[in-house]
Amino acid sequence: MIRLECFTESEKARLRAGVDAAKAALLGNIRKLDQYPVPLLLVGDKYPGIWLEHNQDNLFLVEYAPENAWASQAAFMDFQREDGLLPFVLPSEKGPFFTEDAHFWQVQSVYPFARCALEIAKATGQGEAALHRIYDAAARYDQWLCRYRDRDRTGLVEMYCEYDTGHDRDPRVTDGGIPGSCPGNDAVNMPDLPLMPVLSVDLSAMTYGARIALAELAGVLGKPAESARWRERAARLKEAMKKLLYDPADDFYYDRDRNGLRRYRTEHITRMFLNEVVDREEFNRIYHRYFENPAEFLTPYPFPAVSAADPHFDRSFPRNSWACNTQSLTSLRALLWLRRYGREDERTALLFRYLRSFLTYGTQFQQELNPFDGSPIGSGRNYTPTLLLYLEAVKML
């Protein structure tokens, strides 16, 4: 298990004293964008906009700013492309890099939009009209994925570029000449590479989670036949993942390209947990082998983006690297799946490791930590997931 930190009364007082500043910084990340009427939750000072891969941040924002948390879901529906694709970013600044109100260069979705929007709609008291809107938008998005990201008709979702899964600088999604964004800056386009397409664990898991959420939505909206169809489609996807992506010897799920399984042990496996693709027995088995193992993901400050035992692990620890660093975004998502799988003690222990880092090094609430000594990496500050981790952790004191 993750080591549970003990804090002195003086340390607890120091940590509690930082709550008001952390809340102020979080609310300061809610900004008005020119293209949208309601202020939205931005990622932090190094990220000029609202990203689809950060939609789960708004689950935690509901406690502090419910109107903005809901708006940060509605905005993606407002800018959904005619063909069904959701934008990966709504930029807060325009310039040589971001030039439009919304961009569609890659998928970049992890926690399903359907699930996140549904939970926030329930938490903020949205009515039936909002549920219909989520259902329609998420169903159109699923249709887009089936049309453009299942070219081999395996039933799985294909990854075409590095940023599709949000794993910047991860060899799993760069090796073989895979580009950062999709050709022509359009997520429809697959690169002309011999290894393509790549059958993706995390994009398939995201789609499974979305279909379960769509089934729930259909049930609430009085569509029992559609609910059953979504559950059946989710079950077929799960079966295809087991058949094509699972390695029983390693007890791990890997991406697959034209050459076979891509054997990178990275935190992509946690997206299986986040979307509850695996049952409790399988979760416990994988978690014990890899996440309770100090040689793998149980580093002193867990969980690194790549297993420390994987030969692809980058020990130079550059900034914004999903080839090594412990990412606050991974940890924030872990709060969701650790709770769902009944690991409350580990959830608390994970949060307390962040508090130990804050006490040891101070913090500007950077995006990532060195997984061995807990030192912050990078020059960014007030990264939204890190602020939320601090606020959630202090509650547990």
Residue 311 dihedral angles phi and psi, to the nearest 5°: -65, -15
Report the predicted TM-score, pTM, of the whole model to 2 decimal places.
0.97
* Torsion over CA: 171, 173, 178, 184 (sign): negative
- Say what the pLDDT of residue 20 is: 97
In residues, how long is the chain? 397
Which of these, 297, 392, 376, 294, lies nearest to 344 by C-alpha position? Answer: 392
- Say what the pLDDT of residue 376 is: 97
Helix boundaries (H) for the chain:
9-17, 19-28, 57-61, 66-78, 113-123, 128-148, 201-220, 224-245, 270-274, 280-286, 328-340, 344-361, 384-396
- Say what the pLDDT of residue 52 is: 98
Which residue type is seen at 138? A
* Bridge partners, residue 262, by sequence: 255
- Say what the pLDDT of residue 379 is: 85
- Domain-wise residue ranges, the chain: 1-31+293-397, 41-278
3.40.50.11720, 1.50.10.10, 1.10.238.10, 1.10.760.10: which CATH number matches 41-278? 1.50.10.10
CA distances from 48 to 70, 88, 92, 167, 395 (A): 20, 13, 5, 18, 29
* DSSP annotation of 2: P
CB atoms within 10 A of CB 28: 12
Structure tokens at 352: 């307390």
Spatial distance between the Cα atoms of 343 and 304, rounded to a whole number of angstroms: 19
- Say what the pLDDT of residue 363 is: 84
Spatial distance between the Cα atoms of 254 and 277, rounded to a whole number of angstroms: 14
Phi-psi region of 108 (alpha: psi -120 to 50; beta: other; left: phi over 0): left
Tens of pLDDT, residue by residue, the chain (397 residues)? 898 999 999 999 999 999 999 999 999 999 999 999 999 999 999 899 999 999 999 999 999 999 999 999 999 999 999 999 999 999 999 999 999 999 999 999 999 999 999 999 999 999 999 999 999 999 999 999 999 999 999 999 999 999 999 999 999 999 999 999 999 999 999 999 999 999 999 999 999 999 999 999 999 999 999 999 999 999 999 999 999 999 999 999 999 999 999 999 999 999 999 999 999 999 999 999 999 999 999 999 999 999 999 999 999 999 999 999 999 999 999 999 999 999 999 999 999 999 999 999 998 999 999 999 999 998 889 999 999 999 999 999 9
Structure tokens at 201: 């664990």
